[in-house]
Structure 1
Amino acid sequence: MKNFILSLIVAAFVMPVQANEGMWFLMHIERLNYRDMQKMGLQLTPEEIYSINNASLKDAIVQFNGGCTAEIISGNGLVLTNHHCGYSQIAELSTAENDYLTNGFWAANHKEELKPKSLSVRFFVRMDDVSKRILSLVNDSMTEAEREATINREIAKIEQENNEGGKFTVSVKSFYQGNEFYYFVYQDYTDVRLVGTPPESIGKFGGDTDNWEWPRHTGDFSLFRVYADKDGNPAEYSEANVPLKPKHHLTTNLNGFKENDFAMIMGYPGRTNRWMPAGGIEQNVKYAYPAWVEASKTSMDVMKKYMNEDQQVNLDYASSYASIANYWKNRQGMIDALTQHKTAESKRKDEKAFQKWASKKGNEKFENVIPVINNYYEKTNEISSHNNYLIMMLRTKMGILPYRLGSSIEYYIEQNEAKRAELLPKLNDDIANLYEGVHVPLEKNVLAAQLRLYTSKAKNIAPNIAEIAATNKNSDAGWDEYLNTAFANSIFESKEKLEAFLANPDAEVLKNDPLYLFSTGLLARYRYKSEEEKQLADEFEGAYRLLVQGMRLQNPDEKYYPDANSTLRLTYGKVIALPEDKRNDATKNYYTTLKGTVAKYQPGDHEFDMPKELIDLYEKKDFGRYADADGYLPVNFLTDNDITGGNSGSPVLNGKGELIGLAFDGNIEAMAGDVIFDDQLQRTINVDIRYVMFLIDKFAGASHIIDELTLAK
């Protein structure tokens, strides 16, 4: 596949939207998309997809813990999402003795379902356009700071007007770089419990090697349940809570599908940058992403050493490692794809066309947009590289932990004895949570490796780090010695030392603590902007907003969709293959089978090991009602839906709105998808719902879960 000669149709600024391109607002489906969707196979009405007054599909789609998507699949609040979306909660609930991450977990009844410390789902209630209201308050003579302050004041009013006394969470978001504004009303439930998960050897089969690759053979799913009070309202965890009775839940379809069948996905895509100028793409490819890739690999190499030596450390850091590894491969894939597709060159051509349009009479306010944008990127290239090296240090637990706790401890010290007694329980809880799973030897070695990289590669580094580097000659031994001494002399070295300090606090000790100074120094440098940088940023924000406004005016008859920003969207396309791939045993290259999974099996390998029970089921061909009509057990399949990060766990729905799969990844050949849409190669990789049900029923023996589903006839 990687050697396939690309036939690329790039969706740049001014090209028409392809049939399967776009992350669309549900409230605009009837006006912008419904006819196209009907022609492709949709059998629902717009009202059945999005309704304010009646139950509709949108009521079954939830945002899962702020970063993924999930769906309600039963009348008892059962939630289906990806294994990797529930990964940190599964790891948190696991111990070396009860290792659910490695071995899997299946609750036999509601009482056995497990409550993680923190997990929530967000239901979407409604949305509305407030662009005219907000934009009527601003004008072109305002500075960016004045504009932002005015908008924020109005946003606060809109959110207050629509939260119904705190019952709902209301969020006003900007779209098209500040040219439109919409508010979104949500209801959050925080009592969410683990129901079931396959072992990691199924849920993460293929590991980092197969991540972003096709053909794929991963059972990437997990099950949770939403609980509410007896009246169905959100409530903090209580044994008295009951499974939620949702407004709507999805019907599960076990009948399969074929190539070119209609497929739509609803979910919460995190972020795209389809309007990004050429200068931004070049900055990412040459400066920002290479720093991210190098710093990520540096952390991963050190972490893996400790994780391989101790299973408890492996569990404690499994989620952090998986997140870093995912973005490491993603960023490298972005570099490769954007370079191969010559995306920046394509955008430059569109910018030249825009500049020509802007020079015409009546378009004068757009004439200086491109020069301002190009100047910004030229002068911030090195800054973007520096910030990405620095970010990886701030992603370490001990790089950020002293800063996060420091201000609370400072406030605690300033209070009288009675107030301290009041604050101490909450402060101790925060300390316990933040220190849970911290392995100091790993943290020291990761920081040492990151400091060596940062000081050797980044320019204009944090002053406190430059000073330390000067005293230890920036040597490997010097950084090890500095960190050993800093940890030994810090109240932040361990939970116990910090708790002892709180029993007899001293403001001067905190002020001069080496790890506190280290952490706050990193944050101060990350947040620092020179006067020139502030001016550049203000000019850029205004120019970028005008660029998007102008591009839409330049081509007023086109259908436009806003960049993703973690708001609910719908994307539609088809089940569709990639060119033939000899690595896939399937008859057509749009699905994979359990046969292909077993072919990848490597006993004892941390990425390609398999449970013996699954192999036994394969050898017996004991697939039950979950086999395809042709006899094979389907595992994963492809659609050409337009998705990005945040869509993980999104339901793949057929024309009737029935659940046929679970989105979990994209293909590396189209990794530039956050910036451009490649109509030829863009694919969504999905878990076939039949494989999910097979694993729940035949592999795990949890048929009681199947019994509570609504199955299509």
Structure 2
Amino acid sequence: MKKIIVSLIAGIMLLPMSAKADEGMWFLMFIERLNHRDMQKMGLQLTAQEIYSINNHSLKDAIVQFNGGCTAEIISKDGLILTNHHCGYDAIAELSSEKDNYLKNGFWAKDRKAEMKPKSLFVRFFVRMDDVTKRILSKVNDKMTEAERGKAIQQEMALIEKENNEGGKYVVSVRPFFQGNEYYYFVYQDFKDVRLVGTPPESIGKFGGDTDNWEWPRHTGDFSMFRVYADKDGNPAEYSENNVPLHPKHHLPVNMKGVKENDYAMILGYPGRTNRWMPAGGIDQNVNYAYPAWVEGAKTGMDNMKRHMEKDEKVNLMYASKYAQTANYWKNRQGMIDALTKHGTAKTKAGQEAKFNTWANKAENKEKYGNVVSTINNFYSKTNIKSRHDNYATQMIRTASYALQPQTLGNALMGYYKENDAKRAEMLPKIQEQIEAVYGEFYAPAERDIFAAQLGLYASKAAEYGLAPMVAELKAKNGGNFLPWVADATSKSIFASKESLEAFMKNPKPEAIAIDPLYLISNDIITHFRKKSDEQAQLENDFGKAFRNLVEGLRESKLNAIQYPDANSTLRLTYGKVRSLPADKRNDAKINNYTTMEGMVKKYKKGDAEFDLPTRILDMNKSKDFGPYVDKDGSMHVNFLTDNDITGGNSGSPVLNGKGELIGLAFDGNIEAMAGDVIFDKNLQRTINVDIRYVLWVIDRFSGAKHIVDEMTLVK
């Protein structure tokens, strides 16, 4: 691998050099230039090279992206991984059964042989990054349409990715930043043999459920543990009994001293998506059209899943992960609506855009920037109704398998049956993989109810834009009650269940696919959802260019102080401090920056799905059996607050002190600051973290798995 100089400064010359210490999701390669001095003032004791280095081990080598959607960290020399319980939820549910329900009862591997491999789970290590802005932008010009521009950029991205993957050893991704004004490539290495080591019972890992989600005070042990395996030479390898635990370049030491107000805290992780540059029109569209539809559609899916989950534990395990993911974003989007409305975020953005428009229409700026704001506003005004329609459709597609999968599988099968025997043999494993992915966690009675309810909601609420034609025709016939039609369609459809599809494949009649009732309606919904008129295509083309120029102009004019790019699932660092919220009578803690086990026990409700607790927790709290993990105030601290700037994807991220030692595990934010993906509020924004001492207590004292704690590097 080529040696790269860490202190690259390309791409930052136009940036102002002051920074808010608690705001920002920062690139590691620019830490020394932009942030290191501020971080030192707040309590950092590491050099920039100890955080990010290419040629020597550094903190970055202990941080992984977990299964493409969360963050995790390496906490032992033998590849032990810590992440959130909700991040490991899919894998834990997959490995669970009615007999061995690890979601409900927890699990701790007594030794390495007892660690369990889920079917599909990987972690991604970050190797290095570099700036390719000049190279990418040299391939485009202002005369191109957005489609032409995109094609040229994609072609150059593909070349850069091929040049840097070292013959397939690495995964390389080129990503746009600042709305396509800058480009960087990222080099990763994936490890696919990842095994479950342990998880607390759901009553600990998900304590508080949907009620406490996004709320403070919080008392949740949201963690689970895995291990990365490699071949004997330490290289990525498919699962094998011969694989050995990975010996990472760096693992995080675990600090047992606890935290106090104003202690330095930094988080490294993979934040998924922020929209800090979103125009006022986009915020208004989300608040008034898109998010209300999202919330209503998600709740419809959840309610119909839950009815069946409550009746059958097997069904509950099937849908546990899907329900949890849907519920998480359901509450998030409602919180976004409330926070953005309460704080007048659109009005604030509109004021900024008015100042920009004045600057943009000065003689020297008008040619490039003069029409930017009007073009953006025109786009949103003409797409508001469509955004509402699309969100109802999206929630139907996400929660109802019958809305998407018949089209996906049907098209795959029609292509399959057109091929010769040799080609079919080549295609069959992929087809079988698709079938297993669809029907592996599938309960037909639930799917019928979810689909019928979502069709009814979509038909009643999305009609102003125009419904998918077949849905509109059925609505006219059935008055909006789709359940009889869905019941009839599933009684006849190839795609109603895994059994019906397998029976079809044993005696196939390919022509039957195109007239299958579930295929027809699924194809109708997806085709309508993806359809784009010439006017829509032009609106999107004009908006894409205008938004890119808005961001460029805001940076050039210094009218926006944001120095960091929006989150997009690339590794970032955020730093701040342990910081309380105003006193809250619901929290028994002496200062409202932490919670205790005593407070958790006060929430206990026997037999309640969200607030039940194991009897052992109640007994151990009563006897103060906290071992070496007790705080100096005599209580068992459970969660604590910092003012770090995080978002979805940071789930599972390590919270580190000034020495780079693990003090906690990030798992949530507070609902008061739910507008944070669009605008950062330094007074409200908080990150909710599991105290690492509570994690250790659950593993050691509560679960009796001290051998797992013993392999960590503890700082006492």
TM class, shorter-length: over 0.9
How far apart are 1:143 and its partner, in Å? 1.1
**Per the alignment, do residues 673 and 209 of structure 1 end up closer, same or farther by CA in structure 2, a change over 3 Å counting?**
same
Contact 2:19 2:35 in 1 (8 A): no
Partner of 1:7: none
Partner of 1:39: 41
How far apart are 1:416 and its partner, in Å? 2.8
Alignment-mate amino acid for residue 383 of structure 2: T
Contact 1:428 1:499 in 2 (8 A): no
Equivalent in 72, 79, 85 of residue 74 of structure 2? 72
Equivalent in 446, 450, 453 of residue 454 of structure 2? 450
Q: How does 1:469-548 map to 2 (within 5 A)?
A: 469-474=475-480, 476=481, 479-548=482-551
How far apart are 1:512 and its partner, in Å? 0.7
Contact 1:106 1:196 in 2 (8 A): yes
Equivalent in 606, 609, 614 of residue 609 of structure 2? 606
CA distance in 1, matches of 2:141, 2:352: 28
Partner of 2:543: helix, strand, or coil? Answer: helix
Alignment-mate amino acid for residue 688 of structure 1: D
CA distance in 1, matches of 2:562, 2:279: 20
Matched, 1:594 2:594: no
Partner of 1:368: 371
CA distance in 2, matches of 1:173, 1:437: 33
Equivalent in 544, 565, 570 of residue 568 of structure 2? 565
Contact 1:402 1:516 in 2 (8 A): yes
Partner of 2:406: 402
Contact 1:203 1:219 in 2 (8 A): yes
CA distance in 2, matches of 1:588, 1:142: 58
- Please give the per-residue CA displacement for 1:290-332, whole angstroms capped at 9, x wherever unaligned: 0001111111111111110000100100000001111110000
- Please give the per-residue CA displacement for 1:235-278, whole angstroms capped at 9, x wherever unaligned: 11111111101011000000112110000000000000000000
Equivalent in 216, 219, 236 of residue 217 of structure 1? 219
Which ranges of structure 1 fall in alignment gaps of 5 or more residues? 1-12
Matched, 1:617 2:623: no
How far apart are 1:557 and its partner, in Å? 10
Partner of 1:592: helix, strand, or coil? Answer: strand
Q: How many residues align?
A: 698
How far apart are 1:14 and its partner, in Å? 11
Matched, 1:413 2:417: yes
Alignment-mate amino acid for residue 509 of structure 2: D
CA distance in 2, matches of 1:88, 1:429: 17
Contact 1:626 1:693 in 2 (8 A): yes
Normalising by structure 2, we get a TM-score of 0.96
Partner of 2:586: 583
Point out the more displaced range, 265-274 or 504-513.
504-513
Partner of 2:5: none
Partner of 2:671: 668
CA distance in 2, matches of 1:155, 1:71: 29
Partner of 2:695: 692
Equivalent in 463, 470, 473 of residue 467 of structure 1? 473
CA distance in 2, matches of 1:257, 1:296: 38
Normalising by structure 1, we get a TM-score of 0.96
Equivalent pairs: percent with the same residue?
Answer: 66
Alignment-mate amino acid for residue 468 of structure 2: A
Partner of 1:306: helix, strand, or coil? Answer: helix
Matched, 1:701 2:704: yes
Contact 2:361 2:370 in 1 (8 A): yes
Alignment-mate amino acid for residue 523 of structure 1: I
CA distance in 2, matches of 1:127, 1:405: 38
Contact 1:14 1:350 in 2 (8 A): no
CA distance in 2, matches of 1:668, 1:634: 22
Contact 1:16 1:558 in 2 (8 A): no
CA distance in 2, matches of 1:512, 1:411: 15
Matched, 1:434 2:452: no
Matched, 1:302 2:304: yes
Aligned CA-pair RMSD: 1.4
**Per the alignment, do residues 280 and 556 of structure 1 end up closer, same or farther by CA in structure 2, a change over 3 Å counting?**
closer
CA distance in 2, matches of 1:50, 1:104: 36
Point out the more displaced range, 441-450 or 122-131.
441-450
Contact 1:403 1:519 in 2 (8 A): yes
CA distance in 2, matches of 1:318, 1:15: 47
CA distance in 1, matches of 2:429, 2:358: 64
How far apart are 1:422 and its partner, in Å? 4.8
Partner of 2:12: none
CA distance in 1, matches of 2:109, 2:231: 21
How far apart are 1:398 and its partner, in Å? 2.4
Alignment-mate amino acid for residue 125 of structure 1: V
Alignment-mate amino acid for residue 448 of structure 1: A
How far apart are 1:504 and its partner, in Å? 2.1
Partner of 2:310: helix, strand, or coil? Answer: helix
Equivalent in 205, 208, 233 of residue 207 of structure 2? 205
CA distance in 2, matches of 1:41, 1:231: 38
How far apart are 1:694 and its partner, in Å? 0.3
**Per the alignment, do residues 15 and 667 of structure 1 end up closer, same or farther by CA in structure 2, a change over 3 Å counting?**
farther
Contact 1:585 1:592 in 2 (8 A): yes
How far apart are 1:465 and its partner, in Å? 1.0
**Per the alignment, do residues 423 and 345 of structure 1 end up closer, same or farther by CA in structure 2, a change over 3 Å counting?**
closer
Partner of 1:349: 351
Partner of 2:667: helix, strand, or coil? Answer: strand
Partner of 2:132: 130
How far apart are 1:469 and its partner, in Å? 1.6
How far apart are 1:40 and its partner, in Å? 0.2
Q: How does 1:178-189 map to 2 (within 5 A)?
A: 178-189=180-191
Partner of 1:274: 276
Partner of 2:143: 141
CA distance in 1, matches of 2:205, 2:274: 27
Partner of 2:573: helix, strand, or coil? Answer: strand
Contact 1:264 1:652 in 2 (8 A): yes
CA distance in 2, matches of 1:194, 1:18: 39
Contact 1:593 1:636 in 2 (8 A): yes
Contact 1:14 1:551 in 2 (8 A): no
How far apart are 1:17 and its partner, in Å? 5.1
Partner of 1:8: none
Partner of 1:309: helix, strand, or coil? Answer: coil
CA distance in 2, matches of 1:529, 1:115: 43
Partner of 2:172: helix, strand, or coil? Answer: strand
Partner of 1:100: 102
Partner of 2:715: helix, strand, or coil? Answer: coil
- Please give the per-residue CA displacement for 1:450-480, whole angstroms capped at 9, x wherever unaligned: 1111111102111121122223232x2xx11
Partner of 1:389: 392
Contact 2:23 2:680 in 1 (8 A): yes
How far apart are 1:16 and its partner, in Å? 7.7
Partner of 2:255: helix, strand, or coil? Answer: coil
CA distance in 1, matches of 2:560, 2:116: 52
Contact 2:640 2:690 in 1 (8 A): yes
Alignment-mate amino acid for residue 450 of structure 2: V
**Per the alignment, do residues 352 and 553 of structure 1 end up closer, same or farther by CA in structure 2, a change over 3 Å counting?**
same
- Please give the per-residue CA displacement for 1:120-160, whole angstroms capped at 9, x wherever unaligned: 00000000000011111211111111111111111011000
Contact 1:413 1:506 in 2 (8 A): no
Partner of 2:660: 657
How far apart are 1:179 and its partner, in Å? 0.2
Partner of 1:424: 428
Q: How does 1:159-308 map to 2 (within 5 A)?
A: 159-308=161-310
Partner of 2:664: helix, strand, or coil? Answer: strand
Which ranges of structure 2 fall in alignment gaps of 5 or more residues? 1-14
Contact 1:120 1:189 in 2 (8 A): yes
Partner of 1:680: helix, strand, or coil? Answer: coil
Alignment-mate amino acid for residue 114 of structure 1: M
CA distance in 1, matches of 2:340, 2:560: 28
Contact 1:32 1:559 in 2 (8 A): no
Contact 1:696 1:702 in 2 (8 A): yes
CA distance in 2, matches of 1:16, 1:449: 52
CA distance in 1, matches of 2:606, 2:60: 43
Alignment-mate amino acid for residue 351 of structure 2: K
Contact 2:356 2:559 in 1 (8 A): no
How far apart are 1:520 and its partner, in Å? 1.5
